[in-house]
Amino acid sequence: MPVCDDALPGAGPATSLTDLRARAHTEPGIAVIQSRILASRTGLRASLAAAAALSSLLLLPVLTLAAQEPVTTCGQIVNNGFLTGDLDCSGYTDGPALIVNHRLNLAGFTLTGNPNERSILAGLSRIDGPGTITGGLVGITSSFKLKLTDLVITGNGANGVSAPRINGSGLTIVGNGASGIVQFKIPGTALQLGTLRLKDSAITDNGSVGIDSIGKSSLKRVDVLRNDGGGCVLRTASLKEINVSENLGDAVDGRHMKLKGAVVSNNLGDGVVASRLQARDVVVDNNLGDGIRLLQNNEEKISLTRVTVTNSGNYGVQVPDPDLSGKFSIKHSTVSGSCHTPVDIALCVDIGSCVEPKASNLACDTSGLCESAASNWGICGLD
């Protein structure tokens, strides 16, 4: 316990060290207490000195990393650096344009890679903008965790960013030859699927899927537009305030997903595809395939609240589940104008479900039992 002059253990209440010194000459027990206190204080001072010395040692790596280095040479290994101007490595053929081990700040400049090499090969790193990464085979690739802020990643031959763990904000990933972002399984592991966290970003006009993530994804205020292979291919995802539109394939294709405040429109495929889906305040409009479609397996569960699904090419909402194990609820929602380019006009309806929908405050024209327009659930205006 702490030792202080106002309350010394074993010497009675409110006994000061001065009183103990005066009584030490006449009371032998007090002398013993005094010597123990002095020894305790000496040990405390030694412990504090050792702690101070250890703290100074622990600070050494931080001080070392704080010293930034200018990045001026293609092939440079960067621990904590910043660009001093545009760096053109389009003619550099000995490997990645830069190898980043810890931190890089583009400082408003452009890094241009070689079309046959990676623009940046990164370890466990943070790469900050503003700035542009362009011209390489892949913009940024890593087998570790990446934190990316305020970057433009454009004009790379394959993927824009590729890593198992990605945390990005303020990114514009546009016009790359393959996918905008690829989040893959952590190397050397069987079950660790990695993560993707992305906010305030735009993934547009890439040659394949906009976002391809095998792990757990969180997207907030992200635009995924006009990608040639579709919008997002996900596994487990939370999507808030996203816009997935005008992609040349399915807009959002996942397994377990939560959508809130999303717009999914004008895609040349299905709007939303999932095994389990919880959607709230979502607009799904004018997609060429189904507006919303559940995958047929033993996990089907769909909950739609304040969802508007309009002008779908095929079904507005389709819930196939022949074994009747799924669950489907829809409330305060509109599903209408479906089947303008149906796969089979005889079967197409606004809501086609093998599971009885639990519906309330629903506006729709037609429903069908499984894949039959002849039988319906009696939940729509024309049933």
Q: pLDDT tens digits, residue range 13-49?
A: 444 444 444 444 444 444 444 444 344 444 434 343 4
> Is residue 204, in this structure, part of any structural domain at all?
yes
> Is residue 191, in this structure, part of any structural domain at all?
yes
**Which of 160, 185, 213 is at the close of a domain?**
213
> Is residue 242, in this structure, part of any structural domain at all?
no
| Per-residue confidence (pLDDT) for residue 357, from 0 to 100 | 92
The answer to whether residues 217 and 236 touch, using CB atoms and an 8 Å cutoff, is yes
Q: Are residues 60 and 94 in the same domain?
A: no
CA distances (Å), 209 to each of 25, 91, 178, 240, 356, in order? 88, 29, 7, 19, 34
Q: What are the tokens at 168?
A: 């990005």
> Is residue 291, in this structure, part of any structural domain at all?
yes
> Is residue 197, in this structure, part of any structural domain at all?
yes
> Is residue 229, in this structure, part of any structural domain at all?
no
> Is residue 4, in this structure, part of any structural domain at all?
no
Strand, coil or helix: 308: strand
Question: For the chain, what is the largest distance between any 2 Cα atoms, rounded to a whole number of angstroms?
Answer: 111
Q: Are residues 102 and 162 in the same domain?
A: yes
Q: What is the pLDDT of residues 59-108, one digit of tens each?
A: 333 334 448 999 999 999 999 999 999 999 999 999 999 999 999 999 99
Q: Are residues 203 and 264 in the same domain?
A: no
Predicted confidence band of residue 303 (pLDDT cuts 50, 70, 90)? very high
Q: Are residues 283 and 382 in the same domain?
A: yes
Q: What is the pLDDT of residues 230-265, one digit of tens each?
A: 999 999 999 999 999 999 999 999 999 999 999 999
Residue 309: φ, ψ to 5°: -120, 110
| Per-residue confidence (pLDDT) for residue 355, from 0 to 100 | 86
Tokens 């149906």 label which residue? 342
Once rounded to an integer, what is the mean pLDDT over residues 313-331? 84
Q: Are residues 172 and 291 in the same domain?
A: no
Q: Are residues 293 and 353 in the same domain?
A: yes
User: Tell me, what amino acid is at 120?
Assistant: I
From the list 187, 180, 173, the residue with the least C-alpha distance to 144 is 187
Tokens 């429109």 label which residue? 265
**Which of 213, 234, 260 is at the close of a domain?**
213
Q: Are residues 108 and 178 in the same domain?
A: yes
Q: What is the pLDDT of residues 149-207, one digit of tens each?
A: 999 999 999 999 999 999 999 999 999 999 999 999 877 665 578 999 999 999 999 99
**Which of 213, 236, 262 is at the close of a domain?**
213
Task: Tally the residues of the chain.
Answer: 383
| Per-residue confidence (pLDDT) for residue 40, from 0 to 100 | 42
> Is residue 7, in this structure, part of any structural domain at all?
no
How many structural domains does the chain have? 3
Tokens 């032998």 label which residue? 28
Q: Which residues pair with 149 in a beta bridge?
A: 128, 169
Q: What is the pLDDT of residues 262-284, one digit of tens each?
A: 999 999 999 999 989 999 999 99
| Per-residue confidence (pLDDT) for residue 370, from 0 to 100 | 79
Q: Are residues 160 and 264 in the same domain?
A: no
Residue-wise burial string across 91-118, b where 16 or more C-beta atoms lie within 10 A, e elsewhere: ebeeebbbbbbebbbbbebbbbbbeebb
- Find the domain containing 163 and state its range: 68-213
Q: What are the tokens at 178?
A: 């393959």
Q: Are residues 26 and 118 in the same domain?
A: no
Model pTM score? 0.81
Q: Are residues 186 and 105 in the same domain?
A: yes
| Per-residue confidence (pLDDT) for residue 380, from 0 to 100 | 96
With 60 as the cut, is the pLDDT of residue 312 above it?
Answer: yes
Q: Are residues 87 and 158 in the same domain?
A: yes
The pLDDT > 70 percentage for the chain reads 78
Residue-wise burial string across 273-294, b where 16 or more C-beta atoms lie within 10 A, e elsewhere: bbbbbbbbebbbbbbbbbbbbb
The answer to whether residues 121 and 144 touch, using CB atoms and an 8 Å cutoff, is no
Q: Are residues 73 and 197 in the same domain?
A: yes
